[in-house]
Amino acid sequence: MDTQGDVREFLASRRAKITPEQAGLPNFGGTRRVAGLRRAEVAMLAGVSPDYYTRLERGNLTGVSDSVLDAIARALQLDDAERSHLHDLARAANTSPRARRRPTKQQVRPGVRSLLDAMTEAPAFIRNGRLDILAINPLGQALYSPAFTTTARPVNLARFCFLDPAAQELYPDWGAAADTTVNLLRTEAGRDPYNKDLTDLVGELATRSDDFRTRWAAHNVRLHHTGVKHFQHPVVGRLELAFEAMPLPADPGLTLTAYSAEAGTPAHDTLRLLASWAATTVPATPVDR
C-alpha cells in the first residue's frame, strides 16, 4: 500500500464532502474552485496553520500528535470509522520499517472451533481482516453454499463478491454488499498497510473488477459490528438475518460473525428450513478444515 498516497487521497476526499454551511462557516457567495472546504478553512477549524495542514494533506503525517488528528477529525466531521482510520494511517506513517511486524499465519484455536460447532441454530464463521473464511459451522456453510462451490481455500468473501456471478444472486442488494466489502478491506489496509496477502488481494481485485476499482478509489471505511443482511438463497429463498460481528480479543485480527432471526418470523422459519437442508447436504466436517 502507498501510505502517503492513501493519506493524501483520504483527507482530500473527506474535505470535499463538507460544505462551508455544514462546517458553520459564512457563505459569501461566488463560485468556489474546489468541492467542499478549502485547506485553509480546515486548518482554521482545526486550530493549525494552513502550511501545517497542507503538509498533512500531502501525506506527511510524521510526528503528528493524536490531539491534532482529533482536531482535524472534528473539522472534517469524520465518523468513528473514519477517525480510527486516520489514526491508523498516522500510526503506519510513524512506524519504522524495523518495527513493522512480520506476518504470522492466522489459525483458529480448537476452543473457537468448538464454539462454532455448538452454535447449531445460528450460521457462524470466523474471518480475518482480508475476509478469508478460516472456520465455519455447517449452518454457516449452508448459508454461504454458493461461495463454497470453488475448490480454492480459504474461501474469500471479497473475491466471491466481485469475481463470482453467484454473489449477485446471493446478495439481493449486491451494491450495498459490495460497498461494505470494499470499506472493510480499506479499513483493514489502514490498520495493516504492509500485509502482503492483503495487498496482493487488493491488486488482484483492482485488476479484474471495475466495480472494485471504483469503490476502492473512494477511500470509504466503516465499522461493521451489527446490522441486518439480506440473502436470496438458491434453495430456501429470501432470508433477512440480524448479524453480530465480534472481534476475538485473544486472537487479534480475527472476527466471529453470527446470524440470527427472531422466533416466529418468516426468516426464523426459513432458517430452520436451511438447517434441515444442511443436515442432509453439508458435510459433518465443514470444508474449511
Compute CA distances 286 → 26, 66, 96, 282, 283, whole Å.
60, 44, 41, 7, 6
| Final residue of a structural domain among 77, 99, 121 | 99
The whole-number pLDDT of residue 6 equals: 93
Alpha-carbon dihedral sign for residues 18, 78, 209, 190 = positive
Q: Is 286 inside a domain boundary?
A: no
C-beta of residue 156 within 8 angstroms of C-beta of residue 130: yes
How many domains does the structure of the chain reveal? 2
Calculate the average pLDDT of the chain: 91
Peptide bond into 154 cis (omega under 30): yes
Length of the chain: 289
Domain boundary among 99, 131, 149: 99
Q: Which of 228, 249, 247, 224 is nearest to 239 (CA)?
A: 228
Query: Same domain, yes or no, for 27 and 58?
Result: yes
Instruction: Please tell me the predicted confidence (pLDDT) of residue 217.
Output: 95
Where are any strands of DSSP class E within 83-192?
124-127, 133-136
**30 pLDDT above the threshold of 80:** no
289 in any annotated domain: no
* 62 shares its domain with 116: no
Does 95 share its domain with 201?
no
In this predicted structure, the answer to whether residue 279 has a pLDDT above a threshold of 80 is: yes
Which of 172, 180, 164, 189 is closest to 215 using CA atoms? 180
Asked whether residue 65 falls in the same domain as residue 11, the answer is yes
Q: How far is CA 170 from the centre of its chain?
A: 19
Task: Give the global pTM.
Answer: 0.89
Evaluated on CA atoms 229, 235, 113, 185, the torsion sign reads negative
Contact by Cβ (8 Å): 116, 136: yes
Structural domain span for residue 53: 3-99
Encode pLDDT of 101-159 as tens digits.
555 678 899 999 999 999 999 999 999 999 999 999 999 999 999 999 988 889 999 99
Task: Look at residue 178 and tell me if it is in a domain.
Answer: yes
Which grid coordinates belong to 226? 451489527
Is 105 part of a structural domain of the chain? Answer: no
- Rounded CA gap, 69 and 86, in Å? 7
Instruction: Report whether pLDDT(99) > 60.
Output: no
SS3 130: coil
Q: Are 182 and 216 in contact (CB under 8 A)?
A: yes
Residue 134 CB coordination number (10 Å): 21
CA-wise closest residue to 174 among 211, 146, 142: 211
Q: Are strands 124-127 and 133-136 parallel, antiparallel or unpaired?
A: antiparallel
User: What is the rounded end-to-end Cα distance, in angstroms, of the chain?
Assistant: 31
Residue 78: pLDDT over 80: yes
**Is 82 within a domain?**
yes
* Under 8 Å between Cβ of 239 and 98: no
Q: What is the pLDDT of residue 35?
A: 77
Considering the domain architecture, whether residues 130 and 161 belong to the same structural domain is answered as yes
Pair 47, 116 in one domain: no
Torsion of CA 182, 187, 188, 189, to 10 degrees: 90
Residues 252 and 137 in one domain: yes
The residues, any chain, with a CB within 8 Å of residue 277's CB and separated by 6 or more, are 142, 235, 236
- The three three-digit cell numbers of residue 194, written as one number: 504492509
Give the 3-state secondary structure of residue 284. coil
- Give yes or no for residue 19 having a pLDDT over 60: yes
- pLDDT at residue 90 greater than cutoff 70: yes
